[in-house]
Amino acid sequence: MRSNYIANATGLTMIYTGFVILTPVIVALLYGEFSSILPFVSAALVSSILGILVRKLIPGAAELENLNDIKKGEALFIVAASWVIFSILAAIPYLFYGLSPLNALFESVSGITTTGATILTSYNYPHAFFFWRSLTQWLGGLGIIVLFIAILPQFAVAGRQMFFAEAPGPTEDKFTPRIRNTASALWRIYAGLTIFEIILLVWAKMPVFDAVCNSLSTLAAGGFSPNPESIMGYHSNLITWIVLIFMFFAGASFNLQYKVITNKNPFILFKSEEFRMYTFLVLFMGMLITVSLMLNNHITLFKNFTDALFQVISITTSTGFASLDFEKWNYTSRLLLFTVMFIGSCASSAGGGIKIARWLVVFKSMKSELVRILHPNAIINIKVDNKTVQPEVARQIIVFIFFYFLIFGITAIILSALEHNSAVGLTSAITSLGNIGPGVAASTGPMGNFDGLHSVSKIIIIINMLVGRLELIPFLVLLQKDFWKSA
């Protein structure tokens, strides 16, 4: 790898990250929380100064005007490094509020990866603190590199490699000829939906500050809320349904939503096989849990369906909001919700997990293999949305899922051993790897927190959150000896 290219790109991201970190200062000034200015100004200065030093001290870095001929391996390294660096820099403000270095990093990584798992045991913090938590999720939801591709001319051409390195999916899906225009269009949709949700939540009588923070977290599929009881704390069915609907669209493909907007045709959504499957699974699992709840409590059908559907969408999209403490549900309902953790959202969305597009390819591959047993000479093409999935893409997806479950299994065993609790180990492993947030164990459930976990457990969960957000690919590639030799 060329160190000047790496230094140039990472230095730029650190410099502009510094400007982003200053945003909560506005909130601090609005609410007269002047003690909250220092944490963010300090972090911003550290970020920008480090970025300038990196570009100055590495020979040839500052002289590069663009990164047009950046290599794929370099792009993968830059993306992985940028997320780690951003996580560390974003943790600095938390140190000023009394969080330990490990807890500050945990909260920062959970925010940026849009996981939503928290170590907070108290919510007695200033407005700027909670705004920063939600803002980190909003920035991470669509991707910090995607943001810089949209606004920095230096990434105009090189952005293609980094765009797909940050958001690897079953296929490379861009809907404009220039990747910078694609990134800009995604951010416009993302910001537009966020503003729309803020307006609706304020209309539904949610306090303005809470509406802003919850909307930032909703569209990011993040789950951080300034209310310690999450969405349940607002005691409003209207608010619950508004958040539910926006969570659903946060887990749907933004590329597909862009096509709907540009063509002014909502029926385009249902032309997508992935969106149809996403909608079906959400409704099906929601109804299954509703039936389970109806058989075990005396609450109204509408209330049970609302809570069941809300939690299914929240977990499927990896948002992690809660409309109630589902840890108090009966065993069957919690078991069904646990299985939802393995579904994932749509590709090109803010949500995490395996992604429904991958499951479609896997199940169609299994079906084709069964057909080949009966008809060995048959030529069977795997198609999604009437487009043939190339064999190498199908193979990569199967390998991805294999490694996903391998990492889940290994970390679940280690976490279970460390915590002496298999429920905590299993749910912590999948909620961190899938960027979901709360588990279905009592201590780490929707009304719990991860503060009481072993320090090593927190480190493992931090790594899982980063690996899950980058969708394994950059992480697995960086572990290969050939990557470093070729670089």
CA distances from 190 to 50, 195, 245, 376 (A): 30, 9, 14, 47
Alpha helices in 296-453 (DSSP H): 301-316, 331-340, 356-374, 391-419, 422-433
pLDDT digits (tens, 9 = 90+) for 24-37: 999 999 999 999 99
**Could you report the per-residue pLDDT of 451-477, keeping only the tens digit for each?**
999 999 999 999 999 998 887 777 777
369-407 pLDDT, tens digit per residue, is: 888 888 887 778 888 888 888 888 888 888 889 999 999
Choose among 340, 212, 225: nearest CA to 286. 340
pLDDT at position 349: 87
Q: What is the pLDDT of residue 428?
A: 92
With 0-12 CB in 10 A as exposed, 13-18 as middle and 19+ as buried, what is 100? middle
* Sequence-ordered list of residues with C-beta below 8 angstroms from that of 263, at least 6 positions apart, any chain: none
Between 120 and 153, the higher pLDDT residue: 120
pLDDT the model gives residue 155 = 56
Question: Quick check: 218 and 311 in contact, CB under 8 A?
Answer: no
**pLDDT surpasses 70 at 218:** yes
Quote the CA–CA distance of 474 and 117 in Å, as a whole number. 23
Q: Rounded to two decimals, what is the model's pTM? A: 0.91
Classified as helix, coil or strand, 388 is: strand
pLDDT at 174 over 70: no
- Please give the pLDDT value at position 465: 93
What integer best gives the mean pLDDT of the chain? 86
Task: Give the sign of the dihedral formed by CA 451, CA 457, CA 461, CA 463.
Answer: positive
Q: How many CB atoms lie within 10 A of CB 486?
A: 10
Q: What DSSP string runs through 249-310? A: HHSS-HHHHHHHHHHT-GGGGGG-HHHHHHHHHHHHHHHHHHHHHHTT--S-HHHHHHHHHH
Q: What is the pLDDT of residue 165?
A: 55
Q: Which of 61, 26, 459 is nearest to 209 (CA)?
A: 26
